[in-house]
A and B are shown apart, each in its own frame.
Chain A
Amino acid sequence: MTNMTGIFIFSEDRALAKQLLTPALELKQALGQPVTALALDGEAAAELAGHGADKVLVLQSASGWVEGLGDAVAGLVGEASVILIGGTQRGKHLAAHVAARLDAGLTTDAKSLKIEAGKLVASRILYAGLAVCEEEQSFPAVATVPARTFPAPAAAAAAGTVESVPTAADGRIAVTGVTPVDKSGVDISSANKLVSVGRGFRSKDDLHLAVELAGKLKGEVSCTRGIAEDEHWLPIERYIGISGQIVKPDLYLAVGLSGQVQHMVGARESKIIVAINSDERAPIFEAADYGIVGDLYAVLPLLTAAINA
C-alpha cells in the first residue's frame, strides 16, 4: 500500500469529503497525480468514486473512532504529495497525528490551496482573524479544510475503483458513550438574514426583541459566545465566531455586541453588516455597512415596527 505518490483526501463527514474532491481535482491538474479518497463505509466510498476519486480505500476498522486511525492512515498515505482532511474536530485531531507521523507540515483551516514551484501554498487566518497568512509546505503536505470552503464537484464521467483495507485503530482509548447534540432544528449557517445578539441585552427575557425583528426579516437569531456559553440564553450552535459558526448571510444585523475579532471572523463574509450599539466607539461600527448609535431597547422595537412584513 505504500509508495503511492498522489493526492489523498479523507473526511468522516460525507458532505465535507465530497467537497474535498474539488480542491483535490484541481491539485490533480497541477500535479498530474491520482486522487485517492479514504472512506469509512461502502456507501460513502461509492459516492466519492462517482465524483472524481480515482480510487477509494474503505477503512475497515473495528472501532470507528476516527481519531484512533492516525497510524493506519499515515501508513496508507505513504509517499503522498498532498493530504487534505476535512476540518471537523475529529479530522483536525487525525490530521495532526498523521502529519506528526509523516514529519510533515499541516495548515489548519486552509481557505485556499494551490501548487507553486512544487510546494503546497495555503492561506489561513492568524490571531483569531486579525490577519491572513500564506503558508508553504514541501511534500508531503497536509491541510485541513473547513466545511463549505469548496462546493461539491459534479458527478464524474467514469467511476473510480473501490477497495477495502483492514485498518488497526488505537485501542488505548475507550469510548463509553456518545450523545448527539440537539440541533433544535435550526441551521444558522443556512439562514439568509441573521439578527445577532450580544451582551448588550440585559436578560434572557429581552431576547424577544431580537426574535420579533428576525421574524419580520424572515431570518434567525444568532449570538456571541458569551450569550451561549456563559449565559446559556441560546443554544451553542447559534453562536458565531472562531470557535463557533462561520456564516455568510445577506444581512448580519448585530445588536448589542461589541464586534471583537474572535466574533467577527465568523460573520465578516456577510454581504451587508448592520450594527446597533450604544457605544459609538465599539469596534463593530468599523465592520459595519450601516449602523445606529443608540440604545437597543429604544431602537429595536422601532425597527421591527418599521419593517413591513
Chain B
Amino acid sequence: MPKFLVLYKWTLDEQDIKVKSDDLSLDASRAKGKISDFDRNAIEEAAAIVEKQGGSVEALSYGTPTVKQSLKDVLSRGVDKAYWIGDASAETADAAVTAKVLAAAIRKIGPYDFILTGEGSSDQFNQQTAPRLAALLGLPCLSFVHKLEVDGAKASVARKLADCTELATVTGPAVISVLSDINKPRIPGLKQVLGAAKKPSEEIALGSLGLAAEDLQPKASRRSVKGFVMTRKNVIYKDAPADAVAKLVSSLAGEGLI
C-alpha cells in the first residue's frame, strides 16, 4: 500500500497584497496565509488514492515559523500526519535552498513511495522543487501530471504538456508534480476540521538536518521586488448601452483599431 508524502508551501494570499503607489513596494500586512493553490490538488490526489486503496499520506512544509499556522488546514484535508520546519531562512530561500532542506528532511523521515508536489508555488512559481528534489534524492521524477494511477509500487501518469499529452510509468519511489486540473480539492467540513485537531504533527528542527550554513544561502537572491503597475487610460463609460457603445466605438476609431 502506497506511502505518500505531499510537499506543501504556506504562502501569502496574493489577493490581499497591495502595491503601494508611491514606491511600488508590496504591502502584505493584511495578507493571510494559505496552502499554495496547486498543493491542495497534490494533497487531494494522495488523500483520494489512499481513501480508495489504502496506504498513508503525510505532509511536509518548510517555511518561516508562521508555517505552523497551516497544520490545522492541511490535516483537515485527508492527511494523516504533518511535519513542519519553521525557520527564518525560508524568507529568502530560493528553490535550491528549499530543495536541499526538503531533501534532508525526507532522508530523515522517509522513505516514501511517492512524493507529490504542486506544479508551482503560487508566490514564486519556480516550478523547480520536484525535479530538484528528485535530482538530490536520486529519484526519478514525473512533472506536470494531470492523471495519476497507483498500482502497488507502480505509478501510471498522463502528463499534460503544451503540445501533447504524454503517458508514462515509473516504479516508486518517485517524485511527481501535479497540475491543478488533476482533481477538485475538497473543502474540509466541520467534522474534518475537528478531526484535524486530533491528528499528529511534528516539528523538524532545521538544525537537526545536518545542513551547512552555505546550504541555506540562496543561489538566486532577490535584488529588488517591485509591484507591477499598469498605466492605462482608464476611460470608463457608464452611460446607457447605446451611448456607451457609441463612445467606445469612437475611442477605438481614434486608436486606429477599427
**Residues in chain A near residue B126, CB distance under 8 A:** 96, 106, 108
Q: Given contacts A97-B141, A176-B169, A288-B232, are A126 and B225 in contact (CB under 8 A)? A: yes
Contacts beyond the supplied A137-B221, A251-B252: 18 A-B pairs with Cβ under 8 Å: A93-B143, A97-B141, A100-B133, A100-B136, A103-B219, A106-B95, A134-B224, A135-B221, A135-B222, A172-B174, A173-B142, A176-B167, A183-B163, A272-B252, A272-B255, A288-B233, A289-B234, A290-B237
- CB-CB contacts below 8 Å: B239-258 with A: 241-242, 244-246, 248-249, 251-252, 255, 257-258
Instruction: Annotate A237-265 by CB proximity to B: 1 below 8 A, 0 otherwise.
Output: 10000110000001100000000110000
Query: In the bound complex, what is the Cα–Cα distance between A274 and B258 (angstroms)?
Result: 13
Q: Given contacts A104-B96, A177-B166, A307-B258, are A93 and B131 in contact (CB under 8 A)? A: yes
Instruction: Annotate A108-123 by CB proximity to B: 1 below 8 A, 0 otherwise.
Output: 1100000000000100
How far is the CB of A96 from the nearest CB of chain B, in Å?
4
- Partner of A306 from B133, B135, B143, B245 at Cβ < 8 Å: B245
Q: Does B235 contact A (CB under 8 A)?
A: yes
**Residues in chain B near residue A41, CB distance under 8 A:** none
In the bound complex, do residue B220 and residue A137 qualify as a contact, i.e. CB atoms below 8 Å apart?
yes
In the bound complex, do residue A303 and residue B249 qualify as a contact, i.e. CB atoms below 8 Å apart?
yes
A228's closest neighbor in chain B, by CB? Answer: B181
Segment among B56-64, B70-78, B117-125, B192-200 that sits at the interface with chain A: B117-125
**Residues in chain A near residue B42, CB distance under 8 A:** none
Q: Does A163 contact B (CB under 8 A)?
A: no
Instruction: Tell me what chain A mostly uses at the interface: helix, strand, loop, or mixed.
Output: mixed
How far is the CB of B253 from the nearest CB of chain A, in Å?
9
How far is the CB of A236 from the nearest CB of chain B, in Å?
8
Q: Does A138 contact B (CB under 8 A)?
A: yes
Q: Does B205 contact A (CB under 8 A)?
A: no
Q: Does B10 contact A (CB under 8 A)?
A: no
Query: In the bound complex, what is the Cα–Cα distance between A177 and B226 (angstroms)?
Result: 43
Q: How many residues of B contact A (CB 8 A)?
A: 77
Which B residues are within 8 Å of any A CB, using their own CB? 12, 14-15, 17, 19, 26, 94-96, 99, 119, 122-136, 140-144, 156, 161-171, 174, 180-181, 218-228, 230, 232-238, 241-242, 244-246, 248-249, 251-252, 255, 257-258
In the bound complex, do residue B168 and residue A174 qualify as a contact, i.e. CB atoms below 8 Å apart?
yes
Query: In the bound complex, what is the Cα–Cα distance between A104 and B95 (angstroms)?
Result: 10
Query: In the bound complex, what is the Cα–Cα distance between A132 and B223 (angstroms)?
Result: 11
